[in-house]
Amino acid sequence: MLPREYLRENAARLAAEMPERFGGIGLDEYAALERERRESITRLEDKRRRRNELSATKGKPSPEVLAESRALKEEIQELERRTEEVEKLLRATEEVVPNVPQASVPRGKDETANRVERTWGEPRKFDFTPQAHWDLGPALGILDFERGAKIAGARFTVLNGAAARMSRALIQYFLDVHTQEHGYREVLPPFLVNAESLFSTGNLPKFEADLFRTREGYYLVPTAEVPVTNLHRDEILEARSLPIRYAAYTPCFRSEAGAAGRDTRGMIRQHQFDKVEMVMFARPEDSNAAHEELTGHAEALLRRLGLPYRVVALATGDLGFAPAKTYDIEVWLPGVNAYKEISSCSNYESFQARRGQIRFRRGEGDKPEYVHTLNGSGLPVGRTLVAILENYQRADGSVAVPEALRPYMGGLAEIRAS
């Protein structure tokens, strides 16, 4: 959420300047509604002050006092109703207003306006026609889409043998690099969370359709970002503890409500996948540097695995609901002859912190301030596995295991059909 004072001043301007992001969500009436709220609170508090005065007299009240108190009770209840009603309307708008993009975010209505920041590595030249992972995997006997569909449904996959082992190796490898070299603390959070947690991160109330929900009202985590960011919900952190860096592995569950027909083949878009996520809490003045740093940590993994990639700054029209800025990292996939998103690294500034009341205090006696939250995939297991299979494939259909991963796979150097 954005600060009230900010929205009061800028609501109309935002709707006019960036209709692709701020149009049609009720920002035009915001300022008037906000003024009404304050006027009604002022009147209400005046009545309450009078009531407190009257009931400050000890003992049984006189008939005159009793009469005035009774009248006040009615007036107060009426004003409370009005105030609450206006407050509700304001909240309803505030909860669905997306974050304000930073000045460095490219302007444009969709992903065609995204800006390539840098590219690493050269797409490998093949002297044969490289296969897509949905052909390679089943041929090697390590990806089983049919049985995934049978035992669960579409967009579920069974990993066998070397693919299962490589998934486990990747989780271990990512966590080791982040904790031992990048300064992150490892966390293993709950995989089910409550609605409050999803509100903080911005998944609720607007994107409930993307989530799986249990009978008991819990939600399956769509990413470790949700439980880990909420670790410090409703807390006031000490300034000297910042920045805080967490790395967490969780499975991720997404209903992919709006994604019918997109990336239907293979395991690019699944209802369930594994991911290691990086989450940071930083001081406001440090968050942009932290964002670059965190993005660099995801890139480091791809470089060590020898996977060519590029970093893209998302445009205003492609930017998600909660981030102020996002870098997508796209990995080269020979099977589809294109760069495909493998990591998304975002700076949320105080947007999530305000929703979840995540604050810090600079010094003794100072007012609490909102921290800035950041997170990024570092990295998703399934898509990384796909990238390895496609980039490291050989003419005979076998796949080399990246050097960095071999120690995590008992020295295994290649994957062959068995």
Q: Smallest Cα–Cα separation from 310: which of 330, 333, 336?
A: 330
How far apart are the C-alpha atoms of 173 and 184, rounded to whole Å? 14
Q: Are 346 and 374 in contact (CB under 8 A)?
A: yes
Check residue 214 for interaction with RNA (CB under 7 A): no
Stretch that binds RNA, among 65-73, 272-280, 324-332, 405-413 (CB under 7 A): 65-73
Which one of 40, 197, 287, 344 is the catalytic residue?
A: 344
Which one of 341, 362, 369, 406 is the catalytic residue?
A: 341
Q: Is the peptide bond before 19 cis (omega within 30 degrees of 0)?
A: no
Q: H-type helices in 57-160, by residue range? A: 63-96, 133-140, 145-151
Which of 42, 112, 129, 180 touches RNA (CB under 7 A)?
Answer: 42
The verdict on whether 254 is a catalytic residue reads yes
Residue with smaller CB distance to RNA, 80 or 210: 80
The verdict on whether 355 is a catalytic residue reads no
Which of 32, 66, 152, 154 touches RNA (CB under 7 A)?
Answer: 66
Which of 69, 93, 179, 272 touches RNA (CB under 7 A)?
Answer: 69
Check residue 41 for interaction with RNA (CB under 7 A): yes
Residue with smaller CB distance to RNA, 38 or 265: 38
Residue with smaller CB distance to RNA, 285 or 364: 364
Q: How far is the CB of 400 from RNA (least distance, A)?
A: 37
Per rule CB under 7 A, count of chain residues that contact RNA:
28
Residue with smaller CB distance to RNA, 16 or 67: 67
Q: Are 187 and 198 in contact (CB under 8 A)?
A: no
Check residue 215 for interaction with RNA (CB under 7 A): no
Query: 213: which DSSP letter?
Result: B
Residue with smaller CB distance to RNA, 44 or 149: 44
Q: How far is the CB of 30 from RNA (least distance, A)?
A: 13
Check residue 51 for interaction with RNA (CB under 7 A): yes
Check residue 64 for interaction with RNA (CB under 7 A): no
Check residue 45 for interaction with RNA (CB under 7 A): yes
Residue with smaller CB distance to RNA, 153 or 217: 217
Residue with smaller CB distance to RNA, 17 or 234: 234
Residue matched to tokens 């359709």: 209
Residue with smaller CB distance to RNA, 194 or 264: 194
Check residue 127 for interaction with RNA (CB under 7 A): no
Check residue 106 for interaction with RNA (CB under 7 A): no
Provide the sign of the torsion angle of the four alpha carbons 10, 349, 361, 286, taken in this order: negative
> What's the residue count for the chain?
418
How far apart are the C-alpha atoms of 225 and 270, rounded to whole Å? 18
The verdict on whether 398 is a catalytic residue reads no
The CB density around residue 76, as the number of other CB atoms within 10 Å, is 17
Q: What are phi and psi of 404, to 5 degrees?
A: -60, -25
Which of 12, 31, 33, 54 touches RNA (CB under 7 A)?
Answer: 54
Amino acid occupying residue 352: Q
Check residue 239 for interaction with RNA (CB under 7 A): no
- CA distances to 96, 226, 390 from 324, rounded to whole Å, are 15, 17, 33
Task: Name the region of 157 (left: φ>0; alpha: ψ -120 to 50; beta: rest).
Answer: beta
Amino acid occupying residue 308: P
How far apart are the C-alpha atoms of 166 and 211, rounded to whole Å? 27
The verdict on whether 406 is a catalytic residue reads no
Which of 24, 59, 153, 258 touches RNA (CB under 7 A)?
Answer: 59
Which of 18, 20, 36, 61 touches RNA (CB under 7 A)?
Answer: 61
Check residue 396 for interaction with RNA (CB under 7 A): no
The verdict on whether 269 is a catalytic residue reads yes
Check residue 56 for interaction with RNA (CB under 7 A): yes
Q: Which token pair is 157?
A: 């996959």
Q: What are phi and psi of 374, to 5 degrees?
A: -140, 155
Check residue 12 for interaction with RNA (CB under 7 A): no
Check residue 58 for interaction with RNA (CB under 7 A): yes
How far apart are the C-alpha atoms of 158 and 39, rounded to whole Å? 60
Check residue 241 for interaction with RNA (CB under 7 A): no
DSSP class per residue in 238-269:
EGGG-SEEEEEEEEEE---GGGTTTT-STTSS
Output the CA torsion 7→9→15→18 (10° steps): -90
Between residue 352 and residue 371, which ones bind RNA under the rule CB under 7 A?
364-365, 367-368
Q: Smallest Cα–Cα separation from 149: which of 266, 250, 251, 268?
A: 266
Contact residues for RNA (CB under 7 A)?
A: 4, 38, 41-42, 44-46, 48-49, 51-56, 58-61, 66, 69-70, 72-73, 364-365, 367-368
Q: Just list the catalytic residues.
A: 254, 269, 341, 344, 383
